[in-house]
Structure 1
Amino acid sequence: MIPEPRTVTNAALDRLPLFATDVEIATATVGRARADFWREAIMPTLEKSGFPRLDPLHKARPVALVKQFYAAYFGITAGIALAKPDGEER
């Protein structure tokens, strides 16, 4: 049985500090070329869907929660549905 993943794995996200700025998260998520647009236009929309907010003490976002957000966004936390045969092969 395959263990259920709890977060998204992305080398760029994995290299970020525990708390990262919006610029760092945007660059790791969508790349440098699209980071400004994503940070200004997409991030506010994602916050309405549960994207982690800025931590007031660190003035940055918790990267672990960003990974968990994307795991839920992609449906990873819902588990893996194994295919089962639907009938006789012909």
Structure 2
Amino acid sequence: MAREPTRFRNRTLAELPLFATDEELGEAVLGWERRKQFRPLAELHERSGFPAIHPAWGGRYVPAVKQYLDHMYALVERIPFAPLGKEGAFHVERKKPVRAPVKHNAGE
């Protein structure tokens, strides 16, 4: 039976690639012993804006994961993600311009 190598320290978020697997993120966030608990927690928090696994890159975007966790613990002012369905300013309803009424002089 193969033993896993002895680990002297956990990896940090700064040491991970830009797109990391849940196991890599789990080690950086929860530690080596609890790394496998990360995936169900991440899936639970995806509903509230936690970065999903990108289908092309095969991992979660690490800076966005850090930003989400920093926001969760009030280390940043606001979360940079747009709410669902609000990708840009083009979804904002525009007000119709209000035109000043034209005054007509009856004596002219």
TM value normalised by structure 1: 0.68
Which residue in 1 is equivalent to 2:75? 76
Higher RCO by CA contacts (8 Å cutoff, separation 6 or greater): 1
Contact 2:23 2:38 (8 Å CA) reproduced? no
Shift in Å, 1:46: 1.4
Q: Which has the higher helix share?
A: 1
Distance 2:38 2:19 in 1: 19
Identity of aligned residues (%): 35
| CA shift digits 1:15-73 (9 cap, x unpaired) | 00111011100111001111112323x12211122110011110111001001101111
Matched, 1:38 2:2: no
Pairs aligned (count): 68
CA-based RMSD: 1.7
SS at match of 1:33: coil
TM value normalised by structure 2: 0.58
Amino acid at match of 1:14: A
Amino acid at match of 1:60: G
